[in-house]
Amino acid sequence: MKLIFASANRHKLAEVSRIFGPSYQILLPQDLGLDEDIPETGDTLAANSLQKAQFVWDRFHLPCFSDDTGLEVDALGGAPGVYSARYAGEPRSSARNIEKLLREMEGISMEKRTARFRCVVTLITDGQVAAFDGVCEGRIGLSPVCQEGFGYDPVFIPEGFDCTMSELSLDVKNTLSHRGKAMKQLVCHLSQHHG
């Protein structure tokens, strides 16, 4: 089955392709010639995820899905949340986002550094919309470790681990990550309804 992933991020494409496996061909919109930016103007993860999927569906009328992900830090009242990718402003920079996050968390003890990654995935097939949620609990480390991965992975320590998300293999990461959990629900849904 062919699916369009409403993203321009090849890191994410690699991650989700492993979850979907060989029965699915996952394409990015630019693989089909779309070179305009996909809008993300919602004020919630669910609104952004739906907006991106709807944008791609309206262009191609092919099965498509999108995700929107945010980091929710309890000590910061749930920030950066929906603004995670642009936390330090434009142009987007994971390194600057991490710097800002660590600055704002200075002096907060390890036990109060609880946080979670939340991912909302929206699927549109035949004009029908389905949404899936994934959450990964953890805490924010004191400084970035290992620059592998992307986003906040170098400072996010998943629950039950002593290392950051960026130090985990892709397979381990996919078993516990917010995106991995939401995408597995999506694959399960597809195999039940479109298999």
Catalytic residues: 68
Which tokens is 56 given? 């791609």
Buried/exposed code over 93-109 (b: 16+ C-beta within 10 A; e: otherwise): ebeebbeebeeebeeee
| Longest distance between any two alpha carbons in the chain, whole Å | 51
Q: Are 173 and 112 in contact (CB under 8 A)?
A: no
Supply φ then ψ for residue 108, to 5 degrees: -90, 125
Report DSSP state, residue 86: G
